[in-house]
Structure 1
Amino acid sequence: MTPTVSSRERWDVVVAGAGPAGLAVAAACATRGLRVALVAPHLRPWHQTYCLWADELDAAATALRGPAGGPALGVRYPETVVRTSSGQRSLGRGYARLHNDVVHGLLLDQFATGGGVSLPGTVTSVTEDAVGQQVTLTDGTALTAGLVVDARGGGPGSAQQRAWGERVTGDVGALVPSGSALFMDWVTLRDPATPQPPVFLYGMALDDGTTLLEATSLAARPPVPLPHLRDRLHRLMAEAGLRTAEDPERVAIPLDAAVRRGAGVPVGAAAGLVHPATGYSVATSLRTGSVVADAVQAGADAAAVRALVRGARRRATLGLFALGREVLLGLDEEQTDTFFSTFFTLPPSAWNAYLDTGSPPSAVAATMWRVARALPPAGRRSLATGVVRAARPRRAGGT
């Protein structure tokens, strides 16, 4: 039953969107005693496969569950491997896959226990006047809030990461080492006789005994067609004698979508916080909840909260990542393999910094410099060409 709200009610926070970022903000605000309304078409658990580093999952578990404990928020893979033409390498950092139903249920329970009110629908406009920020829903419902958090996702973007995933049965030991997550394999899907877009194999064991395998295009403009990824993965499955267990998973992540503008405070993909060169976002989204809630509780206005979510330092970091994305877009299969062969020979502190949107720009710039110095001459020339190309203005997208 849809709750009845009065247009005269004033909310401390109205959250538009119930993805990981939106629900994390709504739950954190409600647990702090703020009056929160959450507007979303539905509150069903997320269907995407969300992954992050194991230490990021540990940090999220501590922040979301507190000392009370409870069910595991995800499954951990103690070893993470990368495979390039130079060989297989263990990264020395654990990987993790989110248990969507557990995390979603935990956040929803925190939201409800804190007195949050959910309204089914879609926000069509956010404006601001002397009274506060005004939200209008498609059915005409109007809400007034001290702060509106926009978690409705980003735009389409001209560059995308795409993947075709299959849950398979059969012997995958040669592809995904037991107990490990296969982070990147730039070798197995390649056909040396046929130049193709750079695509890597990604994989991990699932709770039901199947294995998720994905043919993934890290970044491409225009995006690599999903049927191309499907066909390359299916050829591998046929060669390895693997069978499909469930429906496929189709992934399309915009990497250069414009930040949502307007009176609300964007979070998650709406704030451009999808990593522009890797597509990762869920760890950042889960961290955002407490940041926003603490600021609102302390009396911060929209401008102050916006600066916390996407301040000057983070914008500088994202700008460097966007440069890295543009460089990757111009590399062919061999050049991409060489790039990552070099990238993961750096000290873990260097490549870890490059994979986190919360890293200081100085650390990201240092990693980019180290990669450039470590590449062979041909790789440095490709990198230089990519940097020059990235400096040219584009008409669409943006970070």
Structure 2
Amino acid sequence: MCPVPPGRVAAHPDPVTAPRSHWDVVVAGAGPAGLSVAAACAARGMGVVVVAPHLRPWPQTYGMWADELDAVSATLLGGPASRTPPLGRRYPVTVVRTTAGERDIGRGYARLHNDVVHGLLLDQLRAGGGETRRGSVAAVHQDAAGQVVTLADGTTLTGRTVVDARGGGPGSAQQRAWGEQVTGDLAGLVPDGGALLMDWAALREDGVAQPPAFLYGMALDDGTTLLEATSLAARPPVALPHLRDRLHRLVADAGLRIVDRPERVAIPLDAAVRRSAGVPVGAAAGLVHPATGYSVAASLRAGGTVADALLAGADAAAVRALVRGARQRASLGLLGLGREVLLELDEAETDTFFQTFFSLPESAWVAYLDVGSAPTSIAAAMLRVARALPPAARRTLVSTAVRTVLRATPAGPVRG
């Protein structure tokens, strides 16, 4: 062995630590559902890794009700909302317009501050020792060691449980929207300091038959206003250029100026639950509201529930049943029936439907708009709408509902 020359220290290379490949929980996907579960698991002391193609803040505009934002803030912050900056912006006045006029529906609206919530969840994940990996998930399967995520580059990550938060499939019915940030005089379009939830009159053109579409809008933090031409539900989906052209005509007629890149929205409303060995959550579990496209508030609130079950030792099958149990499936089935009714309505019928819908007591329409509501509450709201509609509209609604139920009912044996 050669002696070390005078004046030099023998070099001992640092031991090489192999990259970790086994965790308690592997989360595939870094949307709101995935990050909320990952952060909650890490906060409970579980070993967690999130794998996704990127970890940038979500680009979509996420809207919810102000009381839902309060619930999200309490869940993510562990108590009353006191964080600066807040997790979202509240709009105390929420307006719905139809050809019959304007109505303040009396329930505050909110827009999520994506960068704040995204950063908060990543901070909670890392504070609890959680890790992140960049990559595209190619497959999820079960083997003797646990549930395994295989990435496109061949890397494998094994966990006791894989939480699949990669979103849902394409769906045959979609909500579509084209949005623009604008400046100018918004008087008569978006309420000052409030939110325009739906305006079914603004995008209509006399004598022109078009797919039903409404105007949606709210002021943004930079002083601009977001306007979106939105097709609530259509099969096949309404083409985005059609919505773009309708919005641009309105913007031009109102003398407004477009100041930023457009927002393009496509939300599947009838996508199947993702087939996975893991536990699907959020849109992957089919938890997008079938008639409205909303899901983010429920996804952000559900992280703790899933984490508690995993911490208690529940297996993948038990957690899947918790995320999408019989009660939830029954509610989704009724809301899916509501979606099918909306798909059959033309512009005038849609306008009449929402005149009636928002004339109900708040408790009725609030229950219908919450994917977590009990089936009985959703059914009661649907019956109240049917009873309140004018006779012609009621006949359309009932006949559509009957056709939908008959199509979904398997044929029995033929008896001769």
Give the 5 Å matches for 1:135-174.
135-174=149-188
SS of the aligned residue for 1:391 comes to helix
Q: Work out the CA distance in 2 between the residues paired with 1:268 and 1:380.
A: 33
What's the CA shift for 1:16? 0.1
Map of 1:79 onto structure 2: 93
Equivalent position to 2:59, from 43, 47, 71: 47
Map of 2:414 onto structure 1: none
1:217 equivalent in alignment to 2:231: yes
Map of 1:348 onto structure 2: 362
Q: Work out the CA distance in 2 between the residues paired with 1:234 and 1:121.
A: 38
Q: Work out the CA distance in 1 between the residues paired with 2:154 and 2:364.
A: 50
Map of 2:30 onto structure 1: 18
Contact 1:328 1:386 in 2 (8 A): no
Contact 2:97 2:199 in 1 (8 A): yes
Contact 2:164 2:276 in 1 (8 A): no
Equivalent position to 2:335, from 312, 321, 332: 321
Equivalent position to 2:401, from 383, 387, 398: 387
What's the CA shift for 1:4? 5.6
Q: Work out the CA distance in 2 between the residues paired with 1:35 and 1:332.
A: 52
Map of 2:387 onto structure 1: 373
Q: Work out the CA distance in 1 between the residues paired with 2:136 and 2:82.
A: 34
Contact 2:269 2:291 in 1 (8 A): yes
1:128/1:215 CA distance change after superposition, 3 Å: same
1:139/1:239 CA distance change after superposition, 3 Å: same
SS of the aligned residue for 1:322 comes to helix
Map of 2:111 onto structure 1: 97
What's the CA shift for 1:388? 2.8
Deviation readout 1:138-196 (Å, 9 max, x if unpaired): 11111221110000010001100000001000000110110110001001111121111
What's the CA shift for 1:241? 0.2
RMSD: 1.3
SS of the aligned residue for 1:11 comes to strand
Map of 1:60 onto structure 2: 72
Map of 2:313 onto structure 1: 299
Q: Answer with 349-358 or 120-129: which moved more.
A: 120-129
Aligned-partner residue type, residue 355 of structure 1: L
Equivalent position to 2:82, from 69, 78, 81: 69
SS of the aligned residue for 2:264 comes to strand
What's the CA shift for 1:36? 0.3
Contact 2:93 2:191 in 1 (8 A): no
SS of the aligned residue for 1:319 comes to helix
Q: Work out the CA distance in 2 between the residues paired with 1:142 and 1:311.
A: 30
1:233 equivalent in alignment to 2:233: no
Map of 1:117 onto structure 2: 131
Deviation readout 1:347-371 (Å, 9 max, x if unpaired): 1110000011110000000000000
Q: Work out the CA distance in 2 between the residues paired with 1:88 and 1:259.
A: 38
Q: Work out the CA distance in 1 between the residues paired with 2:73 and 2:43.
A: 16
Paired residues in the alignment total 390
Aligned-partner residue type, residue 40 of structure 1: A
Deviation readout 1:261-291 (Å, 9 max, x if unpaired): 1211000110001101000010011011111
SS of the aligned residue for 2:78 comes to helix
SS of the aligned residue for 2:293 comes to coil
TM-score by length of 1: 0.96
Gaps of 5+ in 2: 1-16, 409-416
SS of the aligned residue for 2:149 comes to strand
SS of the aligned residue for 1:251 comes to strand
Aligned-partner residue type, residue 350 of structure 1: A
1:192 equivalent in alignment to 2:197: no
What's the CA shift for 1:392? 4.9
Contact 2:96 2:104 in 1 (8 A): yes
Contact 2:183 2:259 in 1 (8 A): yes
Larger C-alpha radius of gyration, 1 or 2? 2
TM-score by length of 2: 0.92
Aligned-partner residue type, residue 94 of structure 1: G
What's the CA shift for 1:391? 2.6
1:346/1:118 CA distance change after superposition, 3 Å: same
Q: Work out the CA distance in 2 between the residues paired with 1:5 and 1:340.
A: 55
Q: Work out the CA distance in 2 between the residues paired with 1:387 and 1:70.
A: 46
Deviation readout 1:11-51 (Å, 9 max, x if unpaired): 11000000000011111100110000111011000000001
Deviation readout 1:110-131 (Å, 9 max, x if unpaired): 0011100111102211111333
Deviation readout 1:74-101 (Å, 9 max, x if unpaired): 0000011100122111111100000000
Gaps of 5+ in 1: 395-399
SS of the aligned residue for 1:125 comes to strand
Q: Work out the CA distance in 2 between the residues paired with 1:382 and 1:393.
A: 17
Q: Work out the CA distance in 2 between the residues paired with 1:393 and 1:264.
A: 31
Map of 2:49 onto structure 1: 37
Map of 1:5 onto structure 2: 19
Equivalent position to 1:27, from 39, 42, 45: 39
